């Protein structure tokens, strides 16, 4: 049972390979673990030092995100994850109280401050869009003008 829900962004690294499961009702879910480590600059040491690490499970339920993660992300990748954060409290078989942090992802992407990534746009069945690199030519005389003129 979720104890807390909020939308937030988390910057971190994928620490487990994303795995897709098919549930009994036929729904698909893809999940992986994400680690986010706080860093700060230590003036005395003259270097960056790691602080605590936040671990959470990222769950992907929408088909588009599942397909995008499967095609793009792997263990070790630096990413930015945005979604609904939930804190789940439970009791283990041993009787120990535990709290897990889960994010239901709404958007995921590479952290371009720590990597580079080619962008391949999904067409979603539309054929009326230009491909990247096939930008319409612009005539210098009409740049900034409306596409149609009225008499």
What pTM was computed for the model?
Answer: 0.72
CA distance 83 to 97: 25
pLDDT tens for 13-66 read: 999 999 999 999 999 999 999 999 988 888 888 898 888 999 999 999 999 999
Check whether domain 7-110 has CATH 3.90.1640.20, yes or no: no
Whether the predicted pLDDT of 136 surpasses 90: no
Give Cβ neighbours of residue 89 (< 8 Å, ≥ 6 apart).
1, 3, 97, 98, 99
Q: What is the pLDDT of residues 2-24, one digit of tens each?
A: 555 679 999 999 999 999 999 99
């Amino acid at each position: 049972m979720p104890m807390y829900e909020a939308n937030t962004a988390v910057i971190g690294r994928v620490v487990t390979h994303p795995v897709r499961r098919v549930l009994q009702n036929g729904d698909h879910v893809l999940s992986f673990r994400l680690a986010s480590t706080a860093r700060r600059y230590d003036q005395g040491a003259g270097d960056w030092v790691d602080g605590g690490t936040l671990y959470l499970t990222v769950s992907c339920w929408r088909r588009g995100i599942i397909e995008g993660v499967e095609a793009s992300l792997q263990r070790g990748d630096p990413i930015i994850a945005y979604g609904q954060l939930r804190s789940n409290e439970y009791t283990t078989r041993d009787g120990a109280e535990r709290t897990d942090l889960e994010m239901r992802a709404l958007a995921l992407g590479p952290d371009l401050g720590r990597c580079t990534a080619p962008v391949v746009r999904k067409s979603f069945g539309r054929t009326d869009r230009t491909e990247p690199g096939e930008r319409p030519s612009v005539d210098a005389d009409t740049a900034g003008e409306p596409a149609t003129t009225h008499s």
